[in-house]
Structure 1
Amino acid sequence: MQNIENKVAYITGGTKGIGFGIAKSLVENGVKVAISGRNLEDAENAKHLLGNQNVLAIQSDVRNFEDEQKAVADVVANFGQLDFVIANAGLGKFAPVYEMSLEDWNAMIDTNLTGVFHSLKASVEELKKSKGHYISISSLAGTNFFANGAGYNASKFGVVGFTQAAMLDLRELDVKCTTIMPGSVTSHFNDHKPNDADAWKIQPEDLGQMIVDLFRMNSNVLPSKIEVRPTKTK
């Protein structure tokens, strides 16, 4: 089992929901964490809630490669290294394909899929140095299609394919790649406000603990694709 204390993680979309839950779990286990969001104020607020001096707040829009390059540079300048990257930023717009707007399609593909590529492309040289671990947060929608989900399905199917191919590219360079495919999670996704009725769902901290366990695994073990569901359906 590997010691992750004082390792450094960068989480995109880390200001709330799944990303924040992952950040919280990592901080509680001694990891130094950088969290990014499109709005710096949101990232700063999340840093305050985490209540830890080893947290860095960053403004980055994953749709812009230059933002992710700067984010990675800021992480390394602040903490001296980068060991883990969790590409979590994402959004969903749901409508029948004949009603879906070009704007919604492009927003999902650019954020959910191209953003994942940007995050890896910007960080891969640092991950090679640290023999690090890259995780993309996909969805069960990345293997199970559904009505009104054409754009979202396309982006998440793409994330699964991208991360699995990247795993094959990078495993011989001692960089691990994993995609996690959650089912129903309590989060702010699609403008949802978490409430007591969400108690049956996966909690963000559950995914955070899973990621802590992944990072602690021996270097010769690589779980490359993980499906995770609530124990029950409501």
Structure 2
Amino acid sequence: MADLQGKTAIITGGSKGLGAVLARRFARGGAQVVAAARSTDALEKLAGEFPDHIIPFTCNITQADQVKSLIDSTVNRFGKLDILVNNAGVGRFDRIPELSEEDWDLMMAVNLKGPFLASKFAIPHLIPTKGHIVNVSSVAGTVAFPGGGGYCASKFGLMALSDVLTQELKKHEVKVNTICPGSIQTEFSGNPKSYSLTAEQVTEAIWHMVTAPEGVIYNQVIMRPQVPSQMQK
């Protein structure tokens, strides 16, 4: 069975929600996982579940010096980097006239600048290992909706960044995967529908991406929940 034994992974937004579930899955699969987020307490609690496999690292993904320190510290500790999961994200939803400049800037910084910075500093270490970059986008990165102007713009931007990374890194055999889930039953979604995707379901899709057979790339995956028939229009 495919696993991540001996692999080193960084997961941003790793203190809760999808990031925490993903960190646990990678740890169970044998990887050394550096879980990065701003919440030190939540990270340390998570790391306590897998003390031999999860390392907490407090980091603001929007700050270049902190992101570089995250990458450098990981490589210094483990000697390499195999997987970067750009998972950290934030959503603020309102129609354009009511959306604040502060919320717009926050989404652009976390959802787009963060993956840019992490990828920028990780790439020199991913090339020697022929590693993976996994960008966690959203269905909102493929289809816009009223009230989602800032969030959709940031996720559409992430899709473009993923495409550029794919083209720039393919000659180095560094795989770039993008997953676009719909609403997930985590703190992020606020009030998700009962049939929304679970973090575990999305995690399994990412697991298949990073353990794909040699020569196979799941370039882009769009995930939606199956809506119960009685709830369909």
What band does the TM-score fall into relative to the shorter chain?
A: over 0.9
What aligned pairs does 1:191-230 form with structure 2 within 5 A after superposition?
A: 192=190, 199-230=194-225
Deviation at 1:199, TM superposition (A): 4.8
Is residue 2:221 matched to residue 1:231? no
1:139-165 CA-to-partner distances (Å, cap 9, x unmatched) read 000011111110001000001111011
Paired letter, 1:138: S
Question: 1:107 — aligned with what?
Answer: 106
Per the alignment, residue 181 of structure 1 pairs with 180
Match in the other structure for 2:23: 23
8 Å CA contact 1:93, 1:151 repeated in 2: yes
2:117 aligned with 1:118, yes or no? yes
8 Å Cα contact 2:9/2:82 also seen in 1? yes
| Counterpart secondary structure, 1:36 | strand
Q: Could you tell me how far 1:208 is from its partner in structure 2?
A: 1.7
What is the aligned residue count? 229
**Quick one: structure 1 residues 184 and 208, their matched pair in 2 at CA, closer, same or farther if it must change by over 3 Å?**
same
Q: More displaced, 85-94 or 22-31?
A: 22-31
Mapped to 2, the partners of 1:29 and 1:116 lie a distance apart of 24
Is 1:32 the counterpart of 2:27? The answer is no
Aligned to 1:135: 134
Structural mapping, 1:155-174, within 5 Å: 155-174=154-173
SS in 2 for 1:67: helix
The CA deviation at 1:2 is: 5.8
* Structure 2, gaps ≥5 residues long: none
1:230 is paired with a residue whose SS is coil
Return the offset for 1:218: 2.1
Instruction: Please say if residues 164 and 179 of structure 1, whose CA atoms lie closer than 8 Å, have aligned partners that are also in contact.
Output: no
Is 39-48 or 77-86 further displaced after alignment?
39-48
Cα-to-partner distance string for 1:162-211 (whole Å, 9 max, x where unaligned)? 10111111011110101100001111115x37xxx755221112222222
- Which amino acid is the alignment partner of residue 164 of structure 1? D
Aligned equivalents of 1:130, 1:151: Cα separation in 2: 35
- Percent identity of paired positions between Structure 1 and Structure 2: 30
Between 1:105-114 and 1:73-82, the stretch displaced more is 73-82
TM-score (norm 2): 0.93
RMSD: 1.7
Query: With structure 1 as the length reference, what TM-score do the two structures score?
Result: 0.92
Deviation digits for residues 24-52 of structure 1 (CA, Å, limit 9, x no counterpart)? 1111111111101112222112212x333
Q: Which aligned segments of 4 or more residues in structure 1 are displaced greater than 6 angstroms?
A: none
Q: 1:110 to 1:147 in 2, by over 3 A?
A: same
Which residue matches 2:86?
Answer: 87
Greater relative contact order (Cα < 8 A, sep 6+): 1
3-state DSSP class of the match of 2:98?
A: coil
Name the SS of the counterpart of 1:92 in structure 2.
coil
In the alignment, structure 1 residue 44 sits paired with structure 2 residue 44: yes
**Partner Cα distance (1:126, 1:73) in 2:** 9
Secondary structure class of the residue paired with 2:214: coil
